[in-house]
Amino acid sequence: MAVEWIGLVLLIIFCSLDRTAVGQFQLGRPLVCASAAGYLLGVFPLALQLGLMIELLWLMRVPVGAAIAPDDTSVSIGGVVLLWAFSGGGASQDMVVLILVALVCLVTAEIGKLLDIHARHRNEERFQQAVSHLADQCWQQLERNHLRCTVSFALSGLVSVTAVVAIGWIILLASRPFWDVLSLGHPEILKLIFPVVGVAAMLAVLQVRRTIGLFVGGFLLTYSFLCVVNG
Amino acid sequence: MTRGRLWRLGLRSLLIQCSWNFKQFQGLGWVYLLLPELKRLYPDRTLRPIVQRYLGYFNSNVFLTPTIAAAVLSLEYQQRREQPVPMSPQAFSEAVMAPFAAAGDAFFWGGLRPLCCTLAVVAGFLGYWWSPLLFLVLFNLPVFIVRLAGPWFGYHRGVMVVQLLQDYRIADMALVLKRMAVVVLGGIAAVLCHQPDVGVAFSLLICLSLLLTVFMSVVLLRRGFPLYLVIIALLLMAGGIDYTFFIG
Amino acid sequence: MAIVLARVDNRLIHGQVLEAWVPFVQADCLVVVDDVVAQDPFRKHLMIAVVPGELTVEVCSHAEVAQLCHNSAMMAKNVIVLFSTPHDALQAFRDGMHFPSLNLGNMHAEEGKRCISRTLFIDVNDQENLNTLSGLGVTISAQCIPSDRALLWDCQDEELKG
């Protein structure tokens, strides 16, 4: 199991660096990092579901300039750790756990955002050091100083995943007595509320002309296609 | 500059945001990106004032920064060879960073990413396990091309690289991608409410209630209600309906 | 001219304006009031190039503000006005461009400026200009993108600190 956990820590570091500092290959999207973490911990199907549920929620927050979106990377990986710890009690109960974990993600996404802001403020000091490196013409140090800033981003990622897991653990333990009652309902349908609100959140921001027409068009087209395919 | 060195510029641009901060934004990364080529151009003693000019505020779209850098370097080379330049490299970078940010952000963050994400989500809800991979490939392919071809265009066209934004009508392409994303969002809604074996009346009920939920949520979110409140309210409402009609 | 947003942003037209504000306020016209850009054909051309075809862009100098405000084609449009400094905003207001509220987006750090929010750095002149605008009845608030919380400016700028 040790290998998996080392892999998970590396995954957290890679994904939280990819968000801003290095690469921007979009490894930090919930869909990607949740399913990767799920694969590592052996809960891939549930993790993929979690990724799909929270993928669209903050997608349209502009990730540029000083505008910082809630940290969906940390919550997805933290959420998968919670799924690994609390799932396994039958299909219906797993769905209840999945919804609760997604709720935890929703509420704790601000933690990572605050830590991210903190990391960026720390980098301002690095810039001051770079100015003095320039004065001394230490080019190598200037470059190394720039690269060293990744440490603060990686640390903020690790801390926020830990915080998400800790908070989520408490919430899930506290809610455990109610799981049986909750799983009597139809949690597999209730969980669809997340992607539905995700769609709404995107539509609310993607204000192009004729939004309603395009949306309904896409809906009807896909629906009839699915009907034809399924007979 | 040889093609290999232009590629290295593109690769180096993967690291420009390492030291992103609220005062100079990508400022230090911008110097990091230019430094190896500036070192080639200027011997050690004259390098300092040159770097000094670049070390300050810089911010643009990450994927287009290598293009700007290559154009700036081509101006630097011309200046070094004492050829006439249309404008100073610093003035050029200051003038283009905001417009490039506008075009790049609209295209990559506003158009391409939503479209790729929504397509991957459709695949995911249809039950295909490779949907995360689909997203990564769809998004990174154009990005990869821009990151590697951008420096080449930037170096060879110099100041005129800005013409590319207009020639390819980037801003309008971004709008087209956005419209496509809206269509795919409709597709996601359809996949979510498609149930094969429930009869016409019940399917109609599901579709209508789902579309109504989407519409109501859009209105609430546009009014500024927080996302988590909307979701919790909907969960409670749907849970209540579920409990009264289907269990109790 | 229906001004749906007046904004101070040293980068003028960029991602936050096009991606977040234009859809949020449903604007169909952008007006940039800036003497430097208006006299620089290269930058002017570039600004127009990055805006999608369905938005119109006007780049004008302060001398043209009064004329623009009485332009009948502009009357019917939802306009976003962009300034690069509070000084430009004040001057345009005095020239007859009466926006009811002013949004502060980005004013980047320079020597001798103090930080009043994550993205805003002002010096004494900026503060004076903003106080004057506030005195003229303009509601001033700091908000980078619509989903951020708006911080209100008052003359003592108590809330806008930190």
Domain boundary among C50, C66, C98: C98
Whether residue C75 is found in the same domain as residue C108 = no
Q: Check if A128 contacts B (Cβ < 8 Å).
A: no
Show the 3-state SS of chain C: CEEEEEEEECCCCCHHHHHHHHHHHCCCEEEEECHHHHCCHHHHHHHHHCCCCCCEEEEECHHHHHHHHCCHHHHCCEEEEEECCHHHHHHHHHCCCCCCEEEEEEECCCCCCEEEECCEEECHHHHHHHHHHHHCCCEEEECCCCCCCCEECCCCCCCCCC
pLDDT of residue A126: 87
- How many CB pairs below 8 Å do chains A and B form together? 268
Measure in Å the smallest separation between the Cα of C63 and chain A Cα atoms: 31
pTM of the model: 0.91
Does C140 fall in a domain?
yes
Domain shared by C73 and C144, yes or no:
no
Please list the residues that pair with C120 across neighbouring strands.
Answer: C107, C117
Which chain B residues are closer than 8 Å to A24 by Cβ? 14, 17, 62-63, 143
The answer to whether residues C105 and C82 belong to one domain is no
Q: Are residues C117 and C158 located together in one domain of the fold?
A: yes
**A209: which chain C residues are within 8 Å (Cβ-Cβ)?**
54
pLDDT score recorded for residue A23 = 87
Q: Is residue C74 part of a domain?
A: yes
Contact B231 A197 (CB under 8 A): yes
Q: Judge whether residue A217 has pLDDT over 90.
A: yes
- CA-wise closest residue to B38 among B67, B80, B8: B80
Q: Identify whether C14 is part of a domain.
A: no
Query: Chain C: nearest CA to A48, how far in angstroms?
Result: 28
For the question of residue C62 being annotated catalytic, the response is: no
Contact with chain A for residue B224, Cβ under 8 A: no
What chains are in contact with A, requiring at least 3 Cβ pairs below 8 Å? B, C
Lowest mean pLDDT among A97-111, A210-224, C10-24: C10-24
Nearest to A62 among C20, C54, C118 (CB): C20
- Residue C161 belongs to a domain: yes
Q: Is there a contact between C152 and C145 (Cβ–Cβ < 8 Å)?
A: no
Same domain, C69 and C2: yes
Highest mean pLDDT among B81-95, B176-190, C98-112, C124-138: B176-190
Is the domain of C86 the same as that of C34?
yes
pLDDT (0 to 100) of residue C159: 53
Domain end, chosen from C98, C124, C143, is at C98
Q: Please answer yes or no on whether B189 and A20 come within 8 Å at the CB atom.
A: no
**Number of C-alpha atoms within 13 angstroms, CB side, residue B224?**
7
Separation CA A22–CA A200 (nearest Å): 31
Residues of C in contact with B61 (CB under 8 A): 15
Assess whether C2 and C41 both reside in one domain.
yes
Q: How far is CA A99 from CA A105, C4, C152, in A?
A: 10, 40, 37
**CA geometry: angle at B119 spanning B113 and B125, to 5°?**
130
pLDDT at C53 over 70: yes
3-state secondary structure of B25: strand
Q: Is residue C128 in a domain?
A: yes
Least confident of B194-203, C43-52, C97-106: B194-203
Asked if C104 and C141 touch (Cβ cutoff 8 Å), the reply is yes
Contact check, Cβ <8 Å, C49/B106? no
Residue-wise pLDDT tens digits, A2-46: 899 999 999 999 999 999 889 899 999 999 999 999 999 999 999
Residue at C155 is within a domain? yes
Interchain pair A48, B175: CB under 8 A: no
Packing angle of the helix pair B113-125, B170-193 (nearest 10 deg)? 20
Nearest to B217 among A107, A190, A200 (CB): A200
Q: How confident is the model at residue C156 (pLDDT cuts 50, 70, 90)?
A: low
Assembly ipTM: 0.93
pLDDT in tens, B24-60: 889 899 999 999 999 998 887 888 888 888 988 898 9
Q: What is the pLDDT of residue C162?
A: 40
Same domain, C81 and C2: yes
Low-confidence ranges of chain B (pLDDT < 70): 248
Residue C41 lies in a domain: yes
Residue C50 covered by a domain? yes
Provide the number of CB pairs (under 8 Å) joining chain A to chain C. Answer: 37
The secondary structure of B112-159 as a DSSP string is IHHHHHHHHHHHHHTT-TTHHHHHHHHHHHHHHHHHHHHHHHHHHHGG
Number of structural domains chain C divides into:
2
C69 and C1 within one domain = yes
Place of tokens 């207009």: B166
Is there a contact between C126 and C86 (Cβ–Cβ < 8 Å)?
Answer: yes
Helix, strand, or coil (residue A164) = helix
pLDDT, position C155: 57
Say yes or no for a CB contact (<8 Å) between A62 and C26.
no
Report the neighbours of B using a cutoff of 3 or more CB pairs below 8 angstroms: A, C
Which tops the pLDDT comparison, B198 or A121? A121
Mean pLDDT of A56-69: 77
User: Are C2 and C79 members of one domain?
Assistant: yes
Do C90 and C59 lie in one domain? The reply is yes
**pLDDT value, residue C161:** 47
| Partner-chain residue, chosen from A149, A194, A202, that has the shortest CB–CB distance to B185 | A202
- Name every residue whose Cβ is closer than 8 Å to that of residue B55 and which is 6 or more positions away in sequence: A130, A131, A134, B27, B28, B31
Q: Is the Cβ–Cβ distance between C62 and C92 less than 8 Å?
A: yes
Does residue C147 have a pLDDT over 70?
Answer: yes
- Regarding whether C37 and C92 lie in a shared domain, the answer is yes
Q: How does the average pLDDT of chain C come out, rounded?
A: 87
> What is the average per-residue pLDDT within C133-147?
89
Rounded Cα gap, residues A227 and A88, in angstroms: 34
pLDDT (0 to 100) of residue C111: 81
How does DSSP assign A118-146, residue by residue?
HHHHHHHHHHHHHHHHHHHT-HHHHHHHH
Helix boundaries (H) for A1-71: 2-19, 30-41, 44-55
Answer with the one of C68, C98, C128 that is the final residue of a domain: C98
**What average pLDDT score do residues C108-129 get?**
86
CATH number at residue C86: 3.40.35.10
Please check the confidence at residue C114 and state whether its pLDDT lies above 80.
yes
Look at C49 and B162 and tell me if their CB atoms are within 8 Å. Answer: yes
Interface touch B100/C19, C-beta < 8 Å: no
What domain range is C114 assigned to? 100-162
Distance from CA of A63 to the nearest CA of C (A): 9
pLDDT of the residue at A167? 97
Q: Would the CB atoms of A142 and B31 count as touching at under 8 Å?
A: yes
Mean pLDDT in chain A?
Answer: 91
